[in-house]
Each structure stands twice: as structure tokens, then as C-alpha cells.
Amino acid sequence: MEFALSEDQRMLQDSLNGFLKDAAPLDTIRKIATGDDAASAALAAGLDELGLAGLHVPEAHGGLGLGLLDACLVQESLGYAIAPSRFLATTVTAHALRHAGDDFLPGIASGDIRMGLALTELSSRRDGAGVTVEKDKLSGTSLLAVSAEGSTHLLAADTTGALNLVETPAATPMQTIDRTRIFSEVVFGGDARAMALKPDDEVLAAARLLVAADTLGAAQAMIDKAVAYAAERQQFGRVIGSFQAVKHMCAEMAARLEPSRALIWHAAHALDTGEPEGLAMATLAKSHLAEAGTFIARTSTEVHGGMGFTDLVGLHYWFKRIGVNRQLFGSPEQARMDAARLQGWLEPA
């Protein structure tokens, strides 16, 4: 029995953190958020060189063959640095294709196939969105697609809940509060699918878990910043972190987040090992981190006082990353309802 990260896992995360510290400081994130394409491309190229695309692709298909736990560690680091990346879309697709042979996986691992996700409608269809399939051709719209911009292919859910691999059609950016990442509206007009996959609860669970890991990282960054600020900022002749009013806000943030870290590990491990509880655990990890993250996002901002509200410190980029993550692939309420369904707690219809 050992519930801890392995030496390899710690090294993976340390080296990625080291890379991001240099390659994605706040200045760079700011450039990306204000539309500096060269800055985006440089960061994406640097991340590609680390070989992350093949992390969750089996070794037989040219990948590293690592599990969702390793993927969560990577996503946590990306969230900590609020770095935009195609890693989420690539990893979720690799998971969806885990039993699907080698038609696409080698291309995903090599980076020749660049993935985006059009899975929003698995959780919620709004404004007439929804994708239908007729004679292997996709029609309809998907909102808030992830990493569709610059992708060659999408993993797209249709209204039956089945998944389709399809070349990326026209995609229009949808502006959100989070300008570090580009989300899109994609419109299918009879695009032929390249592959059809059955409905698969694990794909949405894995996507949600990775988003939860991203929030874990972003929230940890906000705690670290709040604690550093509270230990340095002086008012009334003392550092504000010595006032219990401020100190307790910091303690509450840490108390909410620390057990969440273990939850992410446990849920990822459960999915990796096929434990039956894994689906519910990953789904609840999403809602749990959404709640903890939201609390930390506002509390860390408050610890920073007026400065937290300014653009100057840039804390708002983390606040907004957490804010978008909360809704992505289903609000906390939606995830909790799905977790009830996955455990057979809903009345048979």
C-alpha cells in the first residue's frame, strides 16, 4: 500500500514546472492573452518538444504509455502556470481511443494530428447547439469547443452521446473571461467522420478530472500568492498575515485545497486501474474542485486587497481560469447529478 507519487512522477512534474517557470512567466501569459501569436506559438512549440502529446498514448502506438494520474500532474502544472496547451484535448482523445487501434494514436503521439474537443453538449445543450450524425456525416453546432483553434481533428459528441473523430471544420473563437485560452464555436455542415466511437462515460469523466487537476494547480498558485503577499504586506505596523482575520482566510484556503489534491490522485488512480468507483470519484472531483477553486479564487483576491482587483498584479488571470474551468464540461450541479446517475441513485425513468 503506497498512496504517494512515484519518483518518476515527481520528476515529471518538477521538470515541467521548471520549464513553465522560464517559458510561461506572467509577462508571457499577458502577451498571449492580448493576442500575441508569436508568444503563443513559442510556448506551444516548447511544450511540444517535451513530448506531452504522447503521454497517454500506449507505447505500442508510439506514446509514453503513462496513465491519467501522470496526465493530471501535467495538467496541474499547466494550471499552476495558467499556460494554454492542447494537452487536455490530446489526452482526452487518447483516452477515448484507448481500445481503438492504431489508426490515429501514432499521429496524435507524434503531433501530426492536433486534437480539439467538442464535448460541451454531453453536459448541456444551449442556443440550439447539438451535433447529429446521418450516414456518417456530422451536422450542427458545438459551443465552447476546447483547442479547436489550430487543430486538425475534433473529438465531437453527438446528441446520442456517441463520439466521433472528425476533421476540424470552420471554427469561430468565442470570447470568454479567460483570454489565455481560445474557445470556439464549431459548425458542422455534413462533415464526414473519420471514426465512430460508442458512448463512453469514461471520456467525460477523464475530461472532467483533468479540468479539476487544472483548477487544483491554478488554486494552489493563488494560495501561494496570497500567503506570500500576506507575509510581506504591512499595515498598522505589522505584516497583515499576523492578523487572524487574514491568517484564517489563508488557512481556510489551504484546508479546502489540500485534501482535494489527494482526491485527484485517488480518482485518477481509480480510473487507471478500472476501479468501479472511479467514474463517480472523477465526476465528483470536478464539482469538488470547482467549489474549492471558486472559494480560493475569491479569497486569494481578497487577501490581496485592492491590488487583487487590479490588472497590475495579474491575479485575475488565475481567477478567470478557475471561473471557466468551473463551467467547462458541466457545472458543479450538473457533475453532481451525473455522479448520482453513475451510482444508480436516480429513479429509473
Partner 1 sequence: MDLSFSPEYEAFRKEVADILSANAHLAPTSEDRGMKNPKRQAWQKLLIENGLAARTIPTEYGGYGAEPDILKSRIIAEEFARTGLPRAMSNQGISMLVPTLLELGTPEQKAAYIRPTLYGEMVWCQGYSEPGAGSDLAALRTAAVSDGDDYVINGSKIWTSTAKQADMIFCLLRTDPTAKKHEGISYILFSMETPGIEVRPLVDMTGAANFNEVFFTDVRVPKSGIVFAENKGWQVANATLTHERGMLGDPNATKARLVELVELMKRETVNGERLIDNPLLRDRLLKLQGEVYAMQANGLRITTHRLKKEGAGLAGLVVKLMGCELNHEIARLAIDALGELGVTYEQGEHLRAEGAWQVRYMYDLGLIIGGGTAQIQKNIIAERGLGLPREPKLAKA
Single out the residue of 55, 281, 296, 322 in contact with partner 1 (rule: CB under 8 A). 281
Q: Does the footprint of partner 1 cover residue 340 (CB under 8 A)? A: yes
Collapsing DSSP to helix, strand or coil, 86 comes out as: coil
Q: According to CB under 8 A, which residues from 221 to 250 bind partner 1?
A: 227, 230-231, 238-239, 241-244, 247-248, 250
Q: Answer for the pair 148, 168: CB distance below 8 angstroms, yes or no.
A: yes
Q: Does the footprint of partner 1 cover residue 170 (CB under 8 A)? A: no
- The closest of 164, 22, 142, 153 to 86, measured between CA atoms, is 153
Single out the residue of 8, 251, 276, 310 in contact with partner 1 (rule: CB under 8 A). 251
CB of 318 to partner 1, least distance (A): 18
CB of 312 to partner 1, least distance (A): 24
Single out the residue of 155, 285, 297, 315 in contact with partner 1 (rule: CB under 8 A). 285
Alpha carbon separation from 261 to 96, 182, 209, 255 (Å, rounded): 25, 27, 12, 11
Over the window 300 to 319, marking each residue x when it contacts partner 1 by CB under 8 A and - when it does not, the resulting string is --------------------
Alpha carbon separation from 138 to 118, 120, 134, 166, 339 (Å, rounded): 12, 16, 7, 8, 29
Instruction: Quote the CA–CA distance of 147 and 96 in Å, as a whole number.
Output: 16
Instruction: Quote the CA–CA distance of 81 and 314 in Å, as a whole number.
Output: 12
Residue nearer to partner 1 on the CB measure, 98 or 247: 247
Q: Does the footprint of partner 1 cover residue 333 (CB under 8 A)? A: yes
CA 76 to chain CA centroid, Å, is 8
232: number of Cβ within 10 Å: 10
Q: Which residues bind partner 1 (CB under 8 A)?
A: 1-6, 69, 227, 230-231, 238-239, 241-244, 247-248, 250-252, 254-256, 258-263, 265-267, 269, 273, 280-281, 284-285, 287-288, 291, 332-333, 336-337, 339-340, 345-347
